[in-house]
Homo-oligomer: A and B are copies of this chain.
């Protein structure tokens, strides 16, 4: 059908073939003005015949928008990101945009990243320093934050989950039904807001049950399987007594369980272990993991929806907090 030309057809060739001006082609393409039905028909035929599709760069240049949404994150790995990414992808698709992924493993985010490469940016916690963020804000560049509250002087919208109440449910459960009293908490990466709120929930649950907070029971698990395993190992080596572990997240929990077994402690008889997030494999590990379900996919999708509202200059929530839900399995000691 279409000729074997190496260069794809341009709007001008289509115009010539249809016997009209480029303006008219543009109009039927975008429905931006009414054109006579017969003309439109001729144009459509010409388009088909040449297999024409408009050059995005040309369009971007004149319209000053790319129709792309960017997402900035630290790394794709872990059990946590895939569902989040999936939600983002779905949201982006629904809204008719394309998705540009930036994972800056360790490099600093380029100051001017995405400035005109994308129409808006979704930034995951910790992927960008405050200074850069502020620069975006000054330029009124659309951004929504994920699992991170913005600094007060650049009030970007953000979406996250109810970390504190989730954590509270978790440790209250271990205290109330399994009578645990010495519960260790494994912190996430430094300055990770999720970790901060989970620790708050942990402390409040302790307090509500009149259990004194013991700093010796806090260690760093990095939301990471091996780091968490090492942390537990060290605790054991140091002779710290504990009968339960709130691992921070599910990834860390599997590391904890492995380390505990390795050391000859049985889970959940000797020590209860709980995670956070309810990633897909949590139900399959041994013992099946008691955790809190975070609507990860929904977080991603919601973020996109917020961003799109901003892009359309529609009013948009300043923050959304998605609910979490306790899911009891067996690693806490339940049957």
Contacts and interface: CB of A to CB of B under 8 A. Distances in A.
Interface in A151-179: none
A6 interface: yes
Interface string A67-92: 01000000111010111011001100
Nearest to A61: B57
A89 B100 CA distance: 11
Interface stretch (A27-35, A201-209, A280-288, A314-322): A280-288
A105 interface: yes
A79 B81 CA distance: 11
Contacts of A51: 112
Interface residues of A, number: 46
A254 interface: yes
Contact of A281 (B76, B79, B93, B102): B79
A53 interface: yes
The 10 closest A-B pairs by CB, nearest first: A286-B286, A57-B60, A281-B281, A82-B82, A57-B61, A76-B86, A284-B285, A53-B112, A57-B57, A99-B101
A36 interface: no
A98 interface: yes
Interface in A98-118: 98-103, 105, 112, 115-117
Interface of A: 4, 6, 8, 51, 53, 55-58, 60-61, 66, 68, 75-77, 79, 81-83, 85-86, 89-90, 93, 98-103, 105, 112, 115-117, 138-140, 254, 258, 280-281, 284-286
Nearest to A116: B55
Nearest to A89: B103
A57 B284 CA distance: 48
A139 B61 contact: no
A240 to B, nearest CB: 25
Contact of A89 (B76, B140, B254): B76
B101 A89 contact: yes
A53 B111 CA distance: 10
A47 to B, nearest CB: 11
A284 B53 CA distance: 49
Given A56-B116, A57-B116, A76-B82, A140 B100 contact: no
Interface centre among A66, A76, A258, A285 (most CB of B within 10 A): A76
Contact of A76 (B75, B85, B100): B85
A91 to B, nearest CB: 12
A98 B66 CA distance: 14
A81 to B, nearest CB: 7
A77 B297 CA distance: 11
